[in-house]
Structure 1
Amino acid sequence: MVFAKADFPWWIAGGYAIELAVGRELRAHGDLDVLVLRRDQALVHELLADWDLHVADPPGQGELRPWRPGEVLRPPLHDIWCRRTSKAPWSVQLMLDEAEGTQWVSRRTPQIRLPIDKLGWTSEAGIPYLAPEVQLFYKAKATRDKDETDFEAVLPLLDAPARAWLADAIKVIAPGHPWIRRLLPVSRT
């Protein structure tokens, strides 16, 4: 993988991050999601200099335009589609996220934070991936069937602090989300 040569933090994201956490394949994937910090975008562009890179502008609207060398992407731009050549299929989706000092800051809302060193886990093969609670936070915004599958698969791996963090984070973006009650301990009165 090209990111193995990176000298900046990066994490496998999306469904593959969940699969790395649970240690088994859950479904087929169309591409590989990778999260990097916005402050490292020039290093990312340099690492992928021989790739065909396009930014979704505006995000979520399906419009892709070339990401030019030296171009600094500012919020709300955060989604970069990558392929080895202009004729190859899209194979990597990069997501830029925010950081302040040693803190990761969610691009969705600055209330949601974690120390960068707690943002991910590392697989037995040395591959960094988003901590399951962080990946589930992203999946909670607009839950699909595959997200429910991921939640069910990884829920048993989440310790009490991870569950509490995720429940608190989801309350900020989706206060009535059904995952919240599944994450919180049952009180006995």
Structure 2
Amino acid sequence: MEEFLAFIRNYIELSLEAEATIRSVGKEISKKKGELIAEEGKTSKHMYFLASGVARTYLYLNGKDITHWISLEDSLITSWYSYVQEKPASEYVELTEDSRLVQISKQDWEILYQQHPELERFSRLILEQEMSVIDEFYKGYYFLTAKQKYELLISAAPQIIQRANLGHIASMLGITQETLSRIRGK
């Protein structure tokens, strides 16, 4: 919980009342490598703060497991479309390391927003930051060579290279694992 509160404080001044409310509704949980926190066909009703561990978001396309994104500590994770739209997810979110998380339901977040307006500002700032990262990462992404995609990933999120499974990284970049190994070898 302390990591989550510190994460929020990086963006806003958090009142003692808001902190107490977050502590009362946030549930600290531990999950094992391979466990899912979102699943295709099920509606995501919780948002998670990844205090420690690694998660990947993936989907099945034409029978292939395709990694869409890899998240590290100090990340908010869920199946975002499902969570926001309250519709079944089209993807999975899997923990790829044993992980510690803080879980808060969408319903509790709505109450937090009403009771503590500074948390709406926090959410807006997070949204702006994440949108800018996604925008920069995917801008021109489909026109880049495999090497340029890898270099973009290194510049955007260098920690992923040390922590994530190479097969997942290759899938996220849309290249084969063999191509990724050749690029890394140079």
**TM superposition score normalised by structure 2:** 0.28
**Structure 1 or 2: more helix by fraction:** 2
Q: Which has the higher contact order (CA 8 A, sep 6+)?
A: 2
Per the normalisation by structure 1, the TM-score is: 0.27
